[in-house]
């Protein structure tokens, strides 16, 4: 049974896999890259609220059933383990998570939009013989049309989590969020993790920042982007020149709302 749960969410290509690679070094923690739990909860929730069987469920039974998804998926985790489930859609379910697990927090990894797009384009360049599921295996599109696909607020790899993150940031449940900027995690990993531990009320564990190993080759192959979730051993910030046109950076300049104190009206914790 899952008794201690936190969620890892936020934006893609922003350090969530690296964070999982570090957290799983702690023997008391269970963490991995994107899991199917959010999708399973969404499908089950829909079945319990509509259709011919909706009448058989009240709120108490819905909550028990949804918690059962976590219990079943993480059945192998020890009862005293802290489970970190990763999915970019959790920010769109913050109120539901608060109802199911009142003590849970949503850890949101964030990064400037231009660099997220640049990172995705770099992965495409590294795998020129592959076509990506992210773009429906379509060949020949330009970076500008790919950006439109990525930034779609209903289905885009970047646009959807960016929209739900903003929604949660300005909502009544914003106190559940902990924001982890990519630059903080890669430039000052120990200080960032120490602050995160304090926010979660967990005793400090000494992490090895020179051995942050993680990889999911089968999942990445399914996406048509080999190496997408492979983490470099040493945690460090790497300066690089962008591979996308500068006007794309300019288009999304100023959208990093977490960097603007005047927009942090709910006092979201940034570590």
In sequence order, which residues have a C-beta less than 8 Å from that of residue 63 and are 6 or more positions away?
Answer: 99, 100
pLDDT tens across 101-150, in order?
999 999 999 999 999 999 999 988 888 888 787 777 777 689 999 999 99
Helix axes 59-73, 37-49, angle to 10 degrees: 160
Phi, psi of 108 (to 5 degrees): -110, 110
Please count the structural domains in the chain.
Answer: 1
Per-residue confidence band for 17, with pLDDT thresholds at 50, 70 and 90: very high
> How far lies 41's CA from each of 68, 135, 144, 182, 250, in Å?
9, 25, 34, 28, 38
Distance, in Å, from the CA atom of 49 to the CA atom of 61, rounded to the nearest integer, reads: 11
Per-residue confidence band for 220, with pLDDT thresholds at 50, 70 and 90: low
Q: Are strands 106-110 and 5-10 parallel, antiparallel or unpaired?
A: parallel
Where in the sequence is the domain holding 238, given as residue range(s)? 5-270
Per-residue confidence band for 173, with pLDDT thresholds at 50, 70 and 90: very high
For the beta carbon of residue 234, count every other beta carbon within 10 angstroms: 12
Summarize the confidence of residues 141-163 as an average pLDDT: 93
SS3 letters across 82-123: EEEEECHHHHHHHHHHHHHCCCCCEEEEECCHHHHHHHHHHH
Structure tokens at 231: 């983490």
Q: Which residues pair with 234 in a beta bridge?
A: none
CA angle 262, 242, 214 (to 5 degrees): 85
Half-sphere exposure of 21 (CA within 13 A, CB side): 23
CA angle 178, 2, 10 (to 5 degrees): 25
Please report, for the domain that includes residue 212, its CATH number: 3.40.50
Q: What is the three-class DSSP state of 222?
A: helix
In this prediction, residue 134 carries a pLDDT of 79
Distance, in Å, from the CA atom of 124 to the CA atom of 54, rounded to the nearest integer, reads: 44
């Amino acid at each position: 049974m899952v008794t201690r749960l936190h969620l890892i969410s936020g934006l893609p290509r922003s350090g969530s896999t690296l964070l999982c690679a570090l957290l799983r070094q702690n023997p008391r923690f269970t963490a991995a890259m994107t899991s199917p739990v959010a999708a399973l909860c969404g499908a089950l929730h829909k079945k319990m609220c509509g259709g011919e069987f909706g009448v058989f469920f009240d709120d108490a039974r819905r909550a028990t059933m949804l918690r059962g998804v976590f219990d079943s998926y993480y059945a192998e985790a020890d009862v005293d383990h802290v489970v970190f489930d990763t999915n970019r859609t959790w920010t769109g379910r913050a109120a539901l998570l608060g109802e199911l697990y009142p003590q849970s927090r949503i850890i949101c990894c964030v990064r400037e939009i231009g660099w997220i797009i640049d990172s995705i384009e770099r992965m495409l360049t590294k795998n020129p013989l592959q076509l990506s599921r992210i773009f429906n295996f379509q060949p020949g599109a330009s970076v500008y049309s790919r950006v439109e696909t990525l930034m779609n607020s209903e289905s885009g790899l970047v646009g959807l989590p960016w929209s739900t993150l903003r929604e949660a940031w300005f909502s009544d449940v914003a106190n559940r969020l902990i924001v982890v900027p990519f630059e903080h995690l890669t430039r000052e990993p120990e200080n960032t993790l120490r602050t995160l531990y304090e926010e979660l009320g967990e005793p400090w564990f000494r992490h090895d920042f020179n051995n942050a190993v993680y990889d999911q080759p089968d999942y990445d192959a399914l996406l048509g982007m080999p190496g997408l979730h492979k983490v470099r051993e040493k945690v460090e910030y790497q300066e690089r020149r962008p591979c996308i046109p500068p006007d794309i950076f300019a288009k999304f300049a100023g959208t990093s709302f977490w960097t603007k104190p005047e927009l942090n009206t709910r006092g979201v914790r940034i570590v």
